[in-house]
Every structure is written in structure tokens, then in C-alpha cells.
Amino acid sequence: MTLYSRITGTGSYLPPRRVSNDELAQELAGRGVETSNEWIVERTGIHARHFAAEGVTSSDLALEACRHALEAAGRSAAEVDLIIVATSTPDMVFPSSAAILQHKLGIAGCPAFDVQAVCSGFVYALTVADAMVRTGSAKCALVVGAEVFSRILDFNDRTTCVLFGDGAGAVVLEASDTPGILASDLHADGAHVGILCVPGHVSGGEVLGTPLLHMDGQAVFKLAVRVLEEAARATLAKAGKTEADIDWLIPHQANIRIMQGTAKKLKLAPEKLVVTVHEHGNTSAASIPLALDAAVRGGQVRTGDTVMLEGVGGGFTWGAVLLNL
């Protein structure tokens, strides 16, 4: 009997257009919006982000990430029996980006659905997929985070538009006799909906309310630092592990100060923190699988390592997954 799920392959994809802080600052200056490389680096650790070309959707980025993950796992798309896509920037209102991705992968029939938990989306999706694999509903799942956040940015708002980027990351999660996913811990508190949201909605053929991202950065910052520590500790307790068992911490890549603060609270050496925010910016649900894949392909994270993934974002949502790679 299969008791566990395990990641057997990772993949990611960044759209080719890399925009440095200086390039972005120059573009924004043309709109009368003032920012600088120095401010962005000092406050966030971000040096650059990638923006998708016009017409490129989340499922397009997801497709490339999935191809790389399947190749790494030695699986073909035909073997996939579950697709979960975490995204807040879906291709359409409906159907799901997962269903669109399924068709682009050239397969049909298996369940495919989106998970909406904003920047916590990937840890939510991985937890759902783990449960489905462990109960025998799936044997070979694609779990994806994919975003085109550039589409919902207000480029007249310097407090948010310099922070985010586009990209996708994916893992193949398979049934296993040995433990991969060890424990997870998910939370939400809708009382904080207003501090990070895109309030617009479709009604009667029109978009009502602004369809652009709004964030109270300081409120998000304070909550994030607190809940990331709590989620990590709760997940370790569920798995019967301690901070000393963590080989790698891969938190949501939003701000280097939040990430380093979390590592410090968990008494982890700075070298155990996987950082891609400098090159990717904040890619919301894609940030964790993008960072995981970069760390695997870069030779940092290896098979057998114990890895803590942590997400936090709009909702307010947060959560963690502890796994053996």
C-alpha cells in the first residue's frame, strides 16, 4: 500500500524579457513615477524581474515549467493523472488554467483544477495533491504555480509595481513507499482581505472596481513575519522534527528582509535560505516552485534533503510544507 507522496521532478520557466531595476525606474520616470535601483534593492533585495510578452498567459508559462518537470521526473504527459495549478492571474474567468494547461499538454480525462490562495497557492496546491496521492486518487500529479502578475500591476503605484514579476514553477508528485511530503500546515484569515487584494470583478459585461493590485505593504510585512515562523514551527511539530532537521528553507520570495527574518527566528544559518527574489521579484504562487527548481538545478538542494516550503499572501493566507526531496 502506498502511504506517501514524493516529488520526483522539478521544472520552471521565466519569460525571456528580464527587466532590471534601472530599466524599470527609467520606464516609470516616463510616467512621472519616481523610484530607484537603490531603494528597491535596499527595501526588498530585488534586482530584476521577468515580464511576459503581450498575449502570453499563465498556462503558457506553466506548460514550459511542466515540460521541464516531467523531463526531470522521467515521465511523459500521458502518465499524469492530476493537474493542480495555483494562480491568481488565470487565463480566463473560467475555465481553469489547469484545464487549459491539460489540453496544451496534449492529454485529457484526468482531473484538473486551479487553487486560489494567492502567494500561498503553491503550498495549498501541494497539500491538496499530497492528500489525493496518499488516498489513492492520483499516482502522478503535476502541481504548478504560474503567474502573469505584470497584468494586474498599477504602474502608477511605485509602492507595488516594482515588487512583482511573471513566471512558473512545477513539480511532479508521485505515489511512493518512502516519505516525501512529511507534514503541512495551512491557514487563512479573511479579516485581512483589504491589505492585499485586486478588488475588481466582472458584472454585466463590465469590470467593476479596480482590477489592479492594492497592498498595504507594512501591514503585510508585519503579518508575514509572524505567521511564517508559526507555520514553520507547527509543521515541524506535526512531522516530529525540529529546526535542526531543516536542510533548506524556501519561503515565498517577496522580500529578502522577511525571508532573512524568518530564517533567523528559526535559528537557521543564512546559507540554508534559498534566495531567488533578487532575480525573479515576487512571482506570487510561482515563487516557491521557481526557487525550488533553481536550487535543485543549481546543485544546492539534493535528493534526500529536508526542505521547508513556506507561503504567505492575500486572503490573508499562509502555510508550510515540510518534505524530503
Which residues does residue 208 pair with via DSSP β-bridges, in sequence order?
Answer: 201
Are 122 and 285 within 8 A, CB to CB? yes
Among 5, 12, 255, 262, binds ligand UT7 (CB under 6 A): 255
User: Which residues, including other chains, have CB under 8 Å from residue 316's CB and lie 6 or more apart?
Assistant: 188, 189, 190, 191, 192, 193, 195, 196, 223, 227
Give the total of residues touching ligand UT7 (CB under 6 A).
20
Binding residue for ligand UT7, selected from 129, 148, 220, 322, defined by CB under 6 A: 220
Do 45 and 275 touch, CB atoms closer than 8 A? yes
Annotated catalytic, 119?
yes
Would you count residue 218 as binding ligand UT7 (CB under 6 A)? yes
Question: What SS3 state is found at 271?
Answer: helix
Q: Of 143 and 220, which has the nearer Cβ to ligand UT7?
A: 220
Q: Which residues share a beta bridge with 114?
A: 85
Based on the shown chain and the rule CB under 6 A, indicate whether residue 282 belongs to the binding site for ligand UT7: yes
What is the distance between the alpha carbons of residues 15 and 290, in angstroms, rounded to a whole number?
Answer: 12
C-alpha distance from residue 206 to each of 86, 89, 202 (Å):
25, 18, 6
Strand partners, 323: 181, 307
Choose between 42 and 71: whose C-beta lies nearer to ligand UT7: 42
162 binds ligand UT7 (CB under 6 A): yes
Active site residue 187: no
Nearer to ligand UT7, 179 or 217 (CB): 217
37 to 76: interface string for ligand UT7, x by CB under 6 A: --x---xx--------------------------------
Interaction between residue 260 and ligand UT7 (CB under 6 A): no
Give the active site residue among 50, 68, 119, 255. 119
Among 47, 187, 221, 245, the residue binding ligand UT7 under the rule CB under 6 A is 221
Residue number with the smallest Cβ distance to ligand UT7: 217
- CA distances to 3, 15, 101, 191 from 53, in Å: 43, 8, 18, 35
Residue 178 and residue 185: Cα distance in Å, rounded?
Answer: 20
Active site positions, annotated: 119, 252, 282
Please report, as ranges, the residues that interact with ligand UT7 according to CB under 6 A.
35, 39, 43-44, 119, 158-159, 162, 196, 217-218, 220-221, 224, 254-255, 258, 282, 312-313
